[in-house]
Amino acid sequence: MKITDVKTTVIKGNFEWTLVRVHTDEGITGLGEAYWGAGVKETILHMKDMLVGQDPTDVERIYQDMYRAFLACGSTGGIAVTAISGIEIALWDIAGKALNAPVYKLLGGKFRDKIRVYADCGSDPARRPEAYARKALEVRDRGYTAMKFDIDGAFPELPQRDRYNRCLSAAEVERMAGLVKAVREAVGNEVDLAIDLHWSYNTADAIKIAHRLEEYDLMWLEDPIPPENVDALAKVTAATGTPICTGENLYTKHGFREVIEKQAADILEPDIPKVGGLAETKKIADMAESYYIPVAPHNVSSPVGTMAAAHMCASIPNFLALEFHSADVAWWNDLIKTDKPMINEGYIQVPDEPGLGIELNEEVISKHLKKGETFYA
């Protein structure tokens, strides 16, 4: 079997979803998805020349070829790795279809039949505790056993923060804790609760807020400080009983190695259509497992990237929960041909059909394409 073409189409949802389709001379096509970002689509199409004529089932070798070809211009992180991720996922879909096996089987088989999904709940712009509590109850009532909220950002009633110094005032720490308290009191301890800080604070203030939140027994506190300095993150992690999570900003196993070796985080959140794809995430998860670190993949994808993630999550022992970031996009599920919701009561059933086990709904996708896009033209 040989690759004959590589195409993309970009959907405009609450993020941009860059879908990849790899064609072969045997009529099998593979579906993939790459994380959003300027230049991702162009980079995928740029890689077409090196892919055409290759056997798509040599997934790991093709990954290495793409990675090495872009080493001088970005394959240690950024757009190139994101583009590679989308293609890699499509190659696994082809390999599964060619071998008549679901992708999780190619990744070593499954530890679980269904994947626990946590709902990203965002924030309330006015930072009202009662709005956080209301949202938490609504999400719990839809069957989710885990959820995540954002509590970083300005409180309208407090003096405006300096946008650059990464400092937190005592008043802000108290109000942030108040938001978490409201959620915890609303849903009790039956629901696991994560909090995202989006790389916002300095090391000392990150430790302060992490300490303050210890009484709410978080599943994790995500990205309390900027992502560049692993030693600073290790200091935060060592200083608090609140589990610290990072990883959506890291690329490839090389980007995770130092974080894992220094135990700079308690939980890792690689983003599969961004970090290097399915096999690279599995390697990261295996490295993490050697330090007993759980993996909770970051996910802002369409159903394609989300189902790809589900196969990977099925295949590792140290899986914690998979993010879902599009609960408010009414047509998200309709992007694929299915008669039932992909996420049901907070879980994704891992499919046994060959490949990723999903098919696109062209009619629905065509209604939601990014301006100027046509369906895989």
Which chain residues interact with Mg ion by CB under 5 A? 196, 222
In whole angstroms, the minimum distance from the beta carbon of 186 to Mg ion comes to 22
C-beta of 272 vs 356, nearer to Mg ion = 272
CA distance 196 to 207: 14
CA distance 79 to 65: 16
C-beta of 192 vs 222, nearer to Mg ion = 222
- 3-state secondary structure (DSSP) of residue 372: coil
Indicate if the alpha-carbon torsion angle 362, 365, 367, 369 is positive or negative.
negative
C-beta of 200 vs 318, nearer to Mg ion = 200
Structure tokens at 70: 């872009």
C-beta of 124 vs 222, nearer to Mg ion = 222
In whole angstroms, the minimum distance from the beta carbon of 199 to Mg ion comes to 8
C-beta of 196 vs 266, nearer to Mg ion = 196
C-beta of 96 vs 247, nearer to Mg ion = 247
- 3-state secondary structure (DSSP) of residue 119: strand
In whole angstroms, the minimum distance from the beta carbon of 114 to Mg ion comes to 24
What is the DSSP-derived secondary structure letter of residue 91?
Answer: H
Element (H, E) at 170: helix 170-187
Phi-psi region of 355 (alpha: psi -120 to 50; beta: other; left: phi over 0): left
In whole angstroms, the minimum distance from the beta carbon of 304 to Mg ion comes to 21
CA distance 227 to 265: 11
Contact residues for 260 (Cβ-Cβ < 8 A; gap 6+): 268, 284, 287, 288, 290, 291, 293
The closest residue (CB) to Mg ion is: 196
Residue type at position 251: Y
C-beta of 33 vs 196, nearer to Mg ion = 196
In whole angstroms, the minimum distance from the beta carbon of 308 to Mg ion comes to 19
In whole angstroms, the minimum distance from the beta carbon of 197 to Mg ion comes to 8
In whole angstroms, the minimum distance from the beta carbon of 220 to Mg ion comes to 10
Residue-wise DSSP of 18-62: EEEEEEETTS-EEEEEE---TTHHHHHHHTHHHHTTS-TT-HHHH
In whole angstroms, the minimum distance from the beta carbon of 40 to Mg ion comes to 19
C-beta of 222 vs 266, nearer to Mg ion = 222
C-beta of 90 vs 233, nearer to Mg ion = 233
In whole angstroms, the minimum distance from the beta carbon of 354 to Mg ion comes to 33
Residue 53 near residue 43 (C-beta atoms within 8 A): no
CA distances from 341 to 138, 139, 156, 307, 337 (A): 18, 16, 38, 12, 10
CA distances from 338 to 8, 16, 307 (A): 22, 22, 13
